[in-house]
Structure formats: structure tokens, C-alpha cells
Structure 1
């Protein structure tokens, strides 16, 4: 028979693996009597694990949620996954960097040596884009409130702070505006958190920055979810950030021929379609949120370009050429 400490860990592992366990099956798996299982369950309860007895013909046990977080038991892959997730927590935009670092130290201390070696050799460096001002972070309590409203399908009321003006901060910023929405999805994009919701006052879909939201309590009545345009939240959010009204493609898409190898262009063209025309020549179909932005994106390849179309892209190249020539001449900007 296993020692009591080893048996308790085995019992805890089984209880975490599935929701309900018949008592007789637990006794069989642990190779002990049902009476021993009952004693071991009582020991787990004394250690803080909320094990509840289930009624029924067979009777059984379930590891339930409690008021405090007891010690947890992870298998090897779960422990490594948790360590990696904690290392990358600085990119979440929730302000949990210090807590994540402390949690990683705690997890690492109780890992066996073979797992510590695995995570110590897997060091993840989160590189964030530089910013002219500190990036605002969403409060974790706000994210929890938003997630709860999404899950409960309850109308959400909140104050929404306007975007800060460019330049130094001042005290003349506009007051937050009250909003009423039907929350549908909580998403992350580029290190920030957003709420996708149906705005009841504007009768349209909106995407709100979570760091600008101050929820109001209580929430409103339950609602029947609407159909998200396109039916897929990732495509919808991508489309909105690209400047379209739905989950469609970029609002501006053009075709050019660039005097560069296809392999060179494709490494930096993201979602563009690149077709090889020769050793040092390729056809590129690429999109952006405006024609000038598209022309500037193509111009960064620093090679000769032939515009196939459409006319809007050709006009954007001419417009940027005039603007760049003006800048190169050092001419002052007209008031």
C-alpha cells in the first residue's frame, strides 16, 4: 500500500482529472478500501481542499471551488505551460507584471529539478513597441467585470474616457461619456484589451478600449445576443481596425510590380499576395486602410515600382511624391 502522503497526492490528482468520482472507483484506482478513501478525503479537507461528497446510488466525491486557493497539483506539461505564460504576462496590458514575476518564482521553487531546467533554458523576452507616452493598462478588476457581463449577457453601463489629446497632459480633457451596450466579446489586439459590443444609443457595433472603461453597477437586464457581422469575432475586429465597416478586406487594395526577389518582399509584406515574375521581379497585391498609407507601405521596399492599379493608388503615389519633394526642398509648411 502507498504511503499516506503519496496516496493523498494520487487522490488529489484523480479529483482534478474529472468532475465526479464514485467512491468505489476511487478505492479501486488507489488500491485501498472505501474507508481509507473517506479518511484521505477528510485529510484533504483539513489541508484546504474543498472536496464535497456527492449523493447517488454509488456515492462519490468532487473537488469543488472554495473560498481560498489551496496548493495545486500540475502535471509536467501544465507546469511548463504555466511558467511560459507567466514569462509573457508583460504583454497582456493588464498591469500584472510584478504579480506574474512573483508567481513564476513560486512555481519554480516547487518544481522538480528536471522541470526547472526546462523553463530556465526557455527564456522569453517580450519586446513591446516604443511609445512617446506610457501605454495605459486595463485594470484586472475591469476585465473581470467586462467578462462577467459578456458571460451573463447583461446590458453593461459604463463611463468611457475620450482619447487623450496629443502633446503634454493637461487638466482640460473632456469628461467621460456614459454608454449603454450589449457586451459580446472581450478581445486582445496589439497588447491592448477591447470590448466588442452593440451600442444601444447609437444602434451600431462599437469596439471600446478597456483601459478607458469605468463600469457602473449594477448591470442592466439580460439580452438575446445579436449576430456579429460575418459571425466571427477575429475577422470582425481585424476588419474594423483596417478601416472597413465589417469583417471584409482592407478598404484599399492595389497591385504593383516591384523590382525585388519575391522571397525578399514576402518576408516583409505580411498578408500580401506575392507572385514571382523572375529572379529579381515580383507582382504584389497588398492592402491598407488608405491609398496614401498603401503607397507609403509599398515605397518602403526601396526599389523601382510599376503600379498596375487602381487609379487611386497611382494618385496616392503622385500625392506623396509632391509632398516628399516639398519636404526635401526644405520649403515651409503653408499655414
Structure 2
């Protein structure tokens, strides 16, 4: 019996020691959890101070004998009083949409393409384009010229039978479709703007837009280049360059909206006053002379939308104005005697 009592006491003592160890372990865990919670709370209050307080985030953090660097973007770079509610996308209250002007819409300069590029090109326009029949340039006999005197975009849209400078009669859309070009260069507007008021300008632009859409229907794979209306000499009474510039701005916007390329011919034909340069003008002050057509061809040869299969002349991109003129003189044949187109 005495032995039984001793064994029972030892068993109870072991149980008491186990309970004590478990209690001490729970107390230690609670102390650790409370310490971590206090540390996390202090850290959050340091990073994101409570409302009404400002953290001194520019000062280094000290941990015993070790100096810690400030957090990134603190001090001069941190937006103060950051709160979790302000983190994330911010809804914009207002915005401004900037409309591109003609200078920014215009096709930028690229490399100089060889004349063979124009084997698959149609040049369509009025008497200004018809001058390619008269003057010798590097694209004469290479490009398909559809130049008709005194025409308007409405003549294209209405499928009017037109007479080319060489006497051939045709419907312009059918002629373009038959050529199956890779690119079509359009220049129209000189005749439409003669003594035109605002209503005539609006009609011109409406027909121009419809004409572009019809070109897309007959030659859907062709690149369309809308060329600015060429400037005139200041002595021309029936046209003025201020009106031409205003309509060209609208043509640039139209080209952008319709997914066409816009070519600003003023870059190569206008003088410092915005008038047709005297040394490029024919006697009437509206059409170009032989030198003007060389300049025109050189310009469009340097402003072709890039494609890897284009026949660029090696080493030609971004040539200076001096070398541009020299290249035009060497690549073009001698001009025919000057005269009206």
C-alpha cells in the first residue's frame, strides 16, 4: 500500500510539472504575439501616421547601434500624408485632347526611292498634274499620269468622262482600277477654290471625302497619298494662299481620318512668305515650270511611307537640302522649255 501511494504521488507531480510547462509556453507565446503586434503597429504608424500627425520620414531609422537608411521615396520625394485610400488609380477630373495640325500629320521624310518605284504609281489630278505630260522628269514614262484640265473631285465621284492631256478620254476611277497601282497620288483643288466661298469649300471637301472612299473601293490594296494644294504667286487674283492653307489644313485632317498619307507640297514649292517660289512658277503664277516638277518629284520620292520591299537608294535617308537639290538635278532628265501645263 505504501508503494502504491508513492507511485501515485510521483504521477501527480509529473502531471503538475507538465501543466506548468504548458502554462509557461502559452504565456511566452502570448508575450511574443503581443510584442510583434506592438512592433507592427508602431511600424505602420511610422509609415502612415495617424490623421493629424506628420511622420518625420526624412530621418534615418536607428535600431540599436545600427543606422538604417530611410525608405525609398521618403523625405523630399514622398507625397506626405499618404493613406491607403489614396493608393491606386486616380480618376481624372478633366482632360484636353490636342488636335494634330497639318505639319504633324504630314508624311515625314524617309529614304529616296528609285524611279522604278513609280512603275506602280498613279498620279491623278488637274492641270497641275497634267504638266507631267509636258516636262521631262525621272517619272515621265514610268508612272501612270491621269491629269485632266479643269476638273473637280465631283467629276471623279460622278464618273464623268474626262480627257487627258494626251487626248485619251476615260473615266478616272476606271483608269485607276485598270492600272492596279500600289499607290495613288491625288492633287485636286486649284480649280475648285477659284473665287470659292465657304459653302463651295464645304462642298469641295465633301466630294473629296467621297472620292477617297471610292478609291478605296476600286483599289483597296493601294496606298493613298493626299497632296496639299500647291501655292500660287501673290499676283494671282483668283486664288490666295491664305485660303489654300486653310483648306489644306482640312485636307490633312481628312487624310488622317480616312487613313491616308498627307504630303505637304508647300515644303518644297513655297518660298519664305508661303507663296509659290518664283523660280519654280510658270508664267501664270499658278502652274509649275520644269524645275518645279523636278522639285516635286524629288519631294514625293523622299516622303514614301516605309515598307521593307521599297527600292530605296542606298545611303539616302535624311539628306540635306543641298544634296536633295543635287539628287533631283542628277536623277531627272533635262527639262523641256518652260510653259503652262
TM-score, L = length of structure 2: 0.19
TM-score, L = length of structure 1: 0.19
- Bigger Rg, which one: 2
From the two aligned structures, give the one with the greater helix fraction: 2
Structure with bigger RCO (C-alpha 8 Å, 6+ apart):
2
